[in-house]
Amino acid sequence: MKQLSSFIFGVVIFCLPAFGQQIKSPDEFLGYQLGEKFTPHHKIVSYFQQAAAAKPQMMKLQQYGETSEGRPLLLALIASEENLPKLEEIRKNNLRLTGMLNDKPGDITAPAIVWLSYNVHGNETSSSEVAMKTLFELLNPANAQTKEYLKNIIVIIDPCINPDGRDRYVNWFMQMEGKDANPDRNGREHSEPWPGGRYNHYNFDLNRDWAWQTQVETQQRMIQYNRWMPQVHSDYHEQSFNSPYYFAPAAEPYHEVITPWQRNFQVVVGKNNAKYFDEKGWLYFTKEVFDLFYPSYGDTYPLYNGSIGMTFEQGGGGRAGSAVVIANGDTLTLKDRIAHHFTTSMSTLEIASKNTAGLVKEFKRFFEDSKNNGVGEYKSFVIKDDGTNKMNAFKHLLEMNGITYGTAGSASLKGFNYFTGKEESFTTANSLVVSTYQPKGVLAKVLFEPRSKLIDSATYDITAWALPYVYGLQAYAVKEKVAVTNYISKAVDHSIPATSYGYLVRYASFEDAKFLAAIVKAGIRVRYAEKDFSFNGAVFKRGAMIILKKGNEGKMEAFAKAAEQFDVSIAPISSGFVEAGADFGSDKVHYITQPRVAMLTGKGVDASAAGEVWFLFDQQLNYPITLINAEETGTVDWKNIDVLILPNGKYKFLTDKDGDKDLKTWVRQGGKLIAMENAVAQMAAGDWNIKVKKNEEEKKEDKPLAYSEIKKFEESEHRGIMSNIAGAIYKIELDNSHPLALGFPNYFYNLKQDANMYEYLKDGWNVGIIKKDSYTAGFVGTNLKEKIKEGLSIGVQDYGRGSVVYLADNPIFRCFWENGKMLFANAVFLVGQ
């Protein structure tokens, strides 16, 4: 696997000399008309390179990074011949307008910056074809219109955000298609195999990753985005091939921080798009389906950073192929899809050029309002430093997003306590403070708000994400401005003290779990304490790791390297005799074996869910995991597996009669099964000794429909919402004496995305339960509020010599839910030892 290269922190420009050559159109360069076939990513790269060579006076081509599979990530910077030499000064001036650069005042007469992002979902392929056509028309000396546009704007084109996903789809499709396009939906080229081209290498949806930046493509792109901070950002997608084209204005809900100017300009753009679509007789829709709420999309994230962020959706997607017969009998071709996206691309550039003065003026006002007035009800967010490594990961997220933070000394304040849901007095001692009086104040407000305000609940993603819950950090939201000074991180002593006996390491964060994975992988013998103990006057909480020198001879170098890498502090011990608690030879101290871990993947498994687990092991825990096709469990050599993970999915062997016989035998003989989300639901429908909990209404027999219950057709959408939970935060009560919950307090905040509730285990451990008052934040339909209570969310069951871990609600959602990663690591390394 290619690692994140050092070049992403700088700027790599293709230095291509001008040979006086004439720029070629995509058709001329590729040797076929755009839309006749899909263009592989390497040919798109080559086209952009030849364009830069042909027009160096108008274009710079920058490689800003590479994907997990080693494909280049590009930005094309296009400007008039007059503005291209001033590009760096224009960029800096734009940052001055935001307040992120303060060397001198910003000039509001400068050009606006328009950023066009194509192909974030790999199998939504038409947009990268459009990127080439758009680039050509911007550089085409015969195009008088674009010359006028470039007098007022700088254009940035990212031709393919997700090259790995695109090539996965394109390479597959080229193998499936015949000489001529086949529009019959029954054809095999209209049914792409698992996991599909939508996702990146690790099966992540990059259009959900803007704020969280878990993926290498996002991390590298966001460095560049924050260097430029465009006034307009357009994100090009595809949807169901039966759907007409969608463009802004967006559907409700709009987040409350979106300004009237941002709302109104979406209408301006939409009307301009409508003008061109009406001329062609093309169908479209606006103000439906695609809302502006969840903060990590390619439209909302730019909006929360002062831009006009917009999504454009063409009918197509992975099932459209190069031609497909749609529901009304017409044939939708790749050429049609290209034409539609190209039209909105050019329309967006046109309307931005005509409104540059307003865009730049309102952009500057957006940031000035934040800096001068703060944002929202709560102006400051105070995060308590709990002495664990959680704070390091938290600070890293803030820094990646350009959110500044500081400290406030020791002051007495009153604020909303995230963990109690009440206004309380507290002191700022040992705290990190994020103020909304800063350029990124709007983004900070959105990411920290305890409860987001939903005007319309018809949203299609999670509705709660407050960072203190995500990171498990005690925090307070304060209505006043809190003055801050520079935050000084505490230095950690990673040195390995001299001792004759061994070492202790506290266990309280995911960084500690990564340290554990590293030393176990290195073959270091490690134990953990089941109960609190005291040694040399210091108290060590349950879960503390014990590493004795005996048995680890020759391995201390790997031990020291891991301690430094994961920022852990090492305490020496001179004896196995403790002052309070269990001595290190007690049966309350457990040896951690090196588990051989496997996961089921492939057809039937939720690709994103499998990707989260794979990424967690491969890139974060750096621990080996074997991926097994779910349809091939009959050939598995079970004796080579200690831990098997079933991510969210629909497993055929769990529904077939006796299909899980071999799996049960393996568990009884000592295996550990970790079941997640719908895998738990399937097991509950079988005979795995876990049962779905039914509420009183579900237990009642069918009864005649009352007049008041008669539904109206026009209410169908919102009636469905009444039984919906897109993603809300619940407080899980933990039994933190159990190995699965070691390192946690007696609670854990997690996302709940379905209404499934399970009965308490009679013959097992109810490690995490949802109580009557567990709801914390986010939208939950009225029909579900009474159902989601008094049930199991996290459980462990002994099964013969083995064990089953039930994770009914995903603790590692999109790998940004940081606090749940330690719980998952506990399931792998600690449970059943």
For 749-768, what is each residue's pLDDT tens digit? 999 999 999 999 999 999 99
Q: Give the up-direction half-sphere exposure of residue 303: CA atoms within 13 A in the CB hemisphere.
A: 30
pLDDT given for residue 497 in this prediction: 87
**Cβ neighbours of residue 269 under 8 Å, at least 6 residues apart?**
247, 248, 308, 310, 347, 348, 351
Burial class (CB in 10 A: 0-12, 13-18, 19+), 500: exposed
Structure tokens at 668: 């009884």
Average pLDDT, the chain: 94
Single-letter residue type at 118? Y
If you average pLDDT over residues 293-303, what whole number do you get? Answer: 98
Nearest to 607 by CA among 317, 219, 201: 201
- Give the percent of the chain with pLDDT over 90: 89
Q: Is the pLDDT of residue 451 over 70?
A: yes
Q: What is the pLDDT of residues 130-154, one digit of tens each?
A: 999 999 999 999 999 999 999 999 9
Report pLDDT digits (tens) over 521-550: 999 999 999 999 999 999 999 999 999 999
Report whether pLDDT(15) > 70. no
Residues 6 or more apart whose CB falls under 8 angstroms from that of 155 comprise 76, 77, 78, 79, 114, 115, 116, 138, 149, 349
> How does residue 7 score in pLDDT terms, banded at 50, 70 and 90?
very low
Helix/strand/coil (H/E/C) assignment for every residue in 682-736: HHHHCCCCCCECCCHHHHCCCCCCCHHHCCCHHHHHHHHHCCCCCCEEEEEEECC
Q: Is the pTM of this model over 0.75?
A: yes
User: Where residue 587 falls among pLDDT bands split at 50, 70, 90?
Assistant: very high
Q: What are the tens digits of pLDDT across the range 325-353?
A: 999 999 999 999 999 999 999 999 999 99
| Strand duo 791-799 + 765-777: pairing | antiparallel
Residue 701 binned pLDDT confidence (cut-offs 50, 70, 90): low
pLDDT value of residue 490: 81
Q: Which residues contact 310 (CB under 8 A, 6 or more apart)?
A: 232, 233, 234, 235, 247, 248, 250, 266, 269, 299, 348
Q: Are strands 728-734 and 323-325 parallel, antiparallel or unpaired?
A: unpaired
Confidence (pLDDT) at 9:
35
Going by pLDDT thresholds of 50, 70 and 90, the confidence category of residue 21 is: confident
User: CA neighbours within 13 Å on the CB side: how many for 557?
Assistant: 1
Give dist(CA 740, CA 757) in Å, integer.
20
E strand map for 306-453: 308-316, 323-325, 331-333, 380-384, 412-417, 422-427, 431-435
In the block, tokens 């939903």 appear at 454
Q: Give the CA distances from residue 85 to residues 44, 52, 57, 116, 762, in Å, rounded to whole numbers and listed in that order.
A: 26, 15, 8, 21, 73
Amino acid 702: pLDDT: 58
What is the rounded CA–CA span in Å between residue 579 and residue 719? 61
For residues 426-435, give the mean pLDDT.
96
Residue 724: its pLDDT value, please? 87
Express each pLDDT in 604-642 by its tens digit: 999 999 999 999 999 999 999 999 999 999 899 999 999
DSSP state of 450: S
How far is the C-alpha of 396 from the C-alpha of 403, rounded, in Å? 10
**In the chain, pLDDT over 70 holds for what percent of residues?**
95
Q: Are 336 and 282 in contact (CB under 8 A)?
A: no
Average pLDDT over residues 280-300: 97
In this prediction, residues 495-520 reach a mean pLDDT of 95
pLDDT band at 719 (very low <50, low <70, confident <90, very high): low
- How distant, in Å, are the alpha carbons of 70, 122, 429 from that of 199? 16, 6, 44
163-176 vs 41-54: helix axis angle to the nearest 10? Answer: 120
Tokens, residue 573: 């011990």
DSSP label at residue 40: P
Q: Where are the beta strands (DSSP E) in 388-530?
A: 412-417, 422-427, 431-435, 475-478, 502-505, 526-529
Q: What is the mean pLDDT of residues 473-500?
A: 91
Query: And the tokens for 202?
Result: 């690790």
pLDDT in tens, 352-381: 999 999 999 999 999 999 999 999 999 999
Task: Give the up-direction half-sphere exposure of residue 727: CA atoms within 13 A in the CB hemisphere.
Answer: 17
* DSSP collapsed to 3 states, 622-653: CCCCEEEEHHHHHHCCHHHCCEEEECCECCHH
- The answer to whether the CB of 51 falls within 8 A of the CB of 23 is yes
CB 382 within 8 A of CB 254: no
Alpha-carbon gap, residue 266 to 310, rounded angstroms: 8
Q: Determine the average pLDDT of the residues in 91-107.
A: 98
Under the banding of pLDDT at 50, 70 and 90, the label for residue 6 is: very low
Match 């009669």 to its residue by tokens.
657
Q: For 154-186, how does the pLDDT look when each residue is reduced to its tens digit (9 = 90+)? A: 999 999 999 999 999 999 999 999 999 999 999
- Quick one: average pLDDT of 676-701? 86
Among the residues of 547-606, which ranges form H helices? 556-565
Q: How far apart are CA 760 and CA 754, in angstroms?
A: 18
Pairwise CA distance, residues 101 & 822, whole Å? 38
Res 428 pLDDT > 90: yes
pLDDT of residue 10: 42
- Amino acid in the structure at residue 404: T
Environment class of 337 (CB within 10 Å of its CB; exposed 0-12, middle 13-18, buried 19+): buried
Q: Counting beta carbons within 10 angstroms of the beta carbon of residue 214, is it exposed (0 to 12), middle (13 to 18) or buried (19 or more)?
A: buried
CA torsion 187→193→196→201, rounded to 10°?
Answer: -150
Mean pLDDT for the stretch of residues 672-676: 98
**Over residues 67-96, mean pLDDT:** 98
DSSP for 91-131, written as a single string: HHHHHHHHTS--SS---TTSPEEEEEEE-SSTT-THHHHHH
674 touches 667 (CB < 8 A): no
pLDDT of residue 708: 66
Judged against a pLDDT cut of 50, whether residue 795 lies above it is answered with yes
User: In 3D, which of 204, 203, 238, 237 has the Cα closest to residue 317?
Assistant: 238
Nearest to 432 by CA among 490, 374, 491, 381: 381
Confidence label for 383 from pLDDT (cuts 50, 70 and 90): very high
